[in-house]
Amino acid sequence: MMNSLMQTFALLEMSITCSLILIWILQKIAQEVFPFIVKVLLLLILANLFFWPLGMSLELPLAAYVRGVTGDLSIVTTLLLWSTLVHSHKSTPIAVKFVILIIALAFYPLALGFSMHDPYAWGYGSITFLLFVLLLALICGLANWSKGVWIVGLAIIAWSVHWHESANLWDYLLDPFLALWAFCSLFAAVLAKRKEKARSGYLFRPG
Amino acid sequence: MNRVIALCFLLLAAVLGFIHIEGRPAWAPFAIPEVAQIESEEVQSDSKPGAPKLKLVTQSAIAAPRADWVPDTGVASVHAASLIALKDGNVRAFWFAGSREGAADVVINSAVFDTKTNAWSAPEVVMDRVAAEKGLARYIAKLGNPVPARLSDGRLQLFFVTVSIGGWAGSSISTIFSDDEGSTWSRPERLITSPLINLSTLVKSPAVQFSDGRLGLPAYHEWIGRFGEFLRLDAAQVIDKRRMSSGRSAIQPLVFVNAAEDATAYFRQTRSAGQAKQIPVSHTQNAGQSWQSVSDLEVANPNSAVAGLTLQSGAHLLALNNIEAGRHRLVLLMSDPKVGQWQLIDVLEDDEALPNEQRKEYSYPYLMSATGNDAHLAYTWDRKKIRHVYFSSAWLTRAFSQLPQQSSAQSMPDSKEAP
Chain center to CA of B290: 20
**In angstroms, what separates the C-alpha of B389 from chain A's closest C-alpha?**
37
- Return the closest-CA partner of residue B366 out of B274, B247, B254, B225: B254
DSSP string for B257-292: E-SSS-EEEEEEE-PPTTS--EEEEEEESSTTSS-E
d(CA B397, CA B400) in angstroms, rounded, equals 5
DSSP string for B58-82: PGGGSPPPEEEEPPP-S-SEEEEEE
* ipTM field: 0.92
- Mean pLDDT for A34-55 is 94
**Residues sharing a CB contact under 8 Å with residue B133, sequence separation 6 or more, in sequence order:** A59, A60, A64, A68, B139, B140
User: In this structure, are residues A19 and A71 in contact, taking their beta carbons and an 8 Å threshold?
Assistant: no
Range in A71-80, A191-200, B8-17, B211-220 with the lowest mean pLDDT: A191-200
Task: Search chain B and give the residue with CA nearest A125.
Answer: B21
Task: Search chain A and give the residue with CA nearest B27.
Answer: A125
d(CA A39, CA A33) in angstroms, rounded, equals 9
Nearest to B3 among A108, A115, A144 (CB): A144
pLDDT of the residue at A207: 53
pLDDT of the residue at B418: 39
Type of residue numbered B246: S
Nearest to A113 among B3, B165, B224 (CB): B224
Instruction: Quote the mean pLDDT of chain A.
Output: 92
DSSP string for B192-240: P--TTTT---EE-SPPEEBTTS-EEEEEEEESSSEEEEEEEEETTEEEE
**In angstroms, what separates the C-alpha of A121 from chain B's closest C-alpha?**
6
pLDDT of the residue at A56: 79
Chain center to CA of B73: 24
pLDDT of the residue at A176: 97
d(CA A80, CA B249) in angstroms, rounded, equals 39
pLDDT of the residue at A202: 61
Task: Kindly state the DSSP code that residue B357 receives in the 8-state scheme.
Answer: G
Taking chain B (419 residues) in runs of 10, the rounded mean pLDDT of each run is 92 98 96 63 41 44 92 95 97 97 96 97 97 95 97 97 92 97 97 94 97 98 94 96 95 97 97 94 98 96 97 96 96 92 96 96 98 97 97 96 69 39
Which H helix or E strand runs over B397? Answer: helix B393-401
pLDDT of the residue at B36: 54
**In angstroms, what separates the C-alpha of A112 from chain B's closest C-alpha?**
6
pLDDT of the residue at A203: 58
Kindly report the pTM of this predicted structure.
Answer: 0.92
Nearest to B137 among A7, A149, A153 (CB): A7
pLDDT of the residue at B338: 87
The residue that leads in pLDDT, B42 or A121, is A121
pLDDT of the residue at A85: 81
A with B: how many residue pairs have Cβ under 8 Å apart? 171
